[in-house]
């Protein structure tokens, strides 16, 4: 299982940690080892530790990306809806110009927002992300959510919602994969049913499903389905979403997590991450 960790820090930085669920990787985890990358069904290698950019404050996300890559991170998780891909792109450009890394050293993910689900709008959305990130291709491109919005509208008005046509959207995603602009394609926030429906019609199967998953929301059924279907599960917010206004729980304050942490002499965050591993 892959993890995307959002820290409740002033900068709203998020770290993604990808953790495999094969028997071999569980054995390695128990032995204190951690995989450095995971091989997707396309053969692409996705680094196991990365930086997420959701809720990163303006002016902070670029510094976070720059510092993270200099510190050794090679996986950056972005999205058009986060509103900060231009700043991320400037940081990437600086890293390339300074010779810190080459483009092929990094694994960059972005996501298709819900108001660009129409087949003719999908290439436009990807091209905009590529322009803002100052890249020629993405390593992974995800459908952000399995619902649609009228183009150019927000999700806060019920009248803006439209019936999704995921097969049509996915067909456009497949063309981006064929063209090499997205070297792998996948989905985010898809249930077992929605993922099953997509797999039934996909010419190019999704390689990743990114969802929220942590000790308080274990996603057991979805996790098992992804394993059996060859889809790599990415769990974002493995420490919970306590920094999000509409979430009322805090995984790091759960009595069981706190008790285990005290017993082992670890932090609640370490316990939650170990649970995911």
CB atoms within 10 A of CB 200: 8
| Greatest extent of the chain over all pairs of C-alpha atoms, in Å | 56
CB atoms within 10 A of CB 51: 25
| Residue 236 annotated as catalytic | no
Q: Which of 73, 82, 141, 236 is catalytic?
A: 82
Q: Where are the alpha helices (DSSP H) in 117-267?
A: 122-133, 166-179, 192-201, 220-229, 255-264
- Interacting residues of 161 by C-beta distance below 8 A, sequence separation 6+: 147, 148, 149, 150, 155
State the Cα–Cα distance between residues 212 and 234, nearest whole angstrom.
8
CB atoms within 10 A of CB 163: 6
Residues with catalytic function: 82
């Amino acid at each position: 299982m892959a993890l995307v960790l959002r820290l409740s820090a002033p900068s709203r930085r998020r770290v993604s940690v990808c953790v495999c669920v094969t028997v071999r990787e569980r054995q390695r985890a128990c032995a204190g080892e951690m995989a450095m990358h995971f091989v997707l069904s396309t053969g692409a290698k996705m680094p196991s530790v990365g930086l997420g950019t959701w809720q990163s404050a303006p002016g902070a996300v670029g510094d976070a990306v720059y510092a993270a890559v200099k510190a050794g991170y090679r996986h950056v998780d972005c999205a058009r809806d986060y509103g900060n891909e231009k700043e991320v792109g400037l940081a990437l450009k600086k890293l390339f110009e300074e010779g810190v890394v080459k483009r092929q050293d990094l694994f960059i993910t972005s996501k298709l927002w819900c108001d660009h689900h129409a087949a003719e709008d999908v290439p436009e959305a990807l091209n905009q992300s590529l322009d803002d990130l100052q890249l020629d291709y993405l390593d992974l491109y995800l459908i952000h959510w399995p619902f649609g919005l009228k183009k150019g509208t927000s999700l806060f008005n019920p009248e803006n919602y439209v019936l999704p046509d995921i097969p049509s959207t996915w067909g456009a995603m497949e063309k981006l994969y064929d063209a090499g602009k997205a070297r792998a394609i996948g989905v985010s926030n898809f249930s077992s049913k929605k993922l099953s429906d997509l797999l039934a019609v996909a010419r190019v199967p999704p390689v990743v499903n990114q969802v929220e998953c942590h000790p308080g929301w274990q996603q057991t059924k979805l996790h098992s389905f992804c394993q059996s279907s060859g889809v790599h599960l990415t769990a974002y917010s493995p420490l919970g979403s306590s920094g999000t206004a509409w979430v009322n729980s805090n995984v790091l304050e759960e009595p069981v997590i706190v008790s285990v942490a005290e017993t082992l002499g670890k932090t609640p965050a370490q316990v939650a991450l170990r649970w995911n591993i």
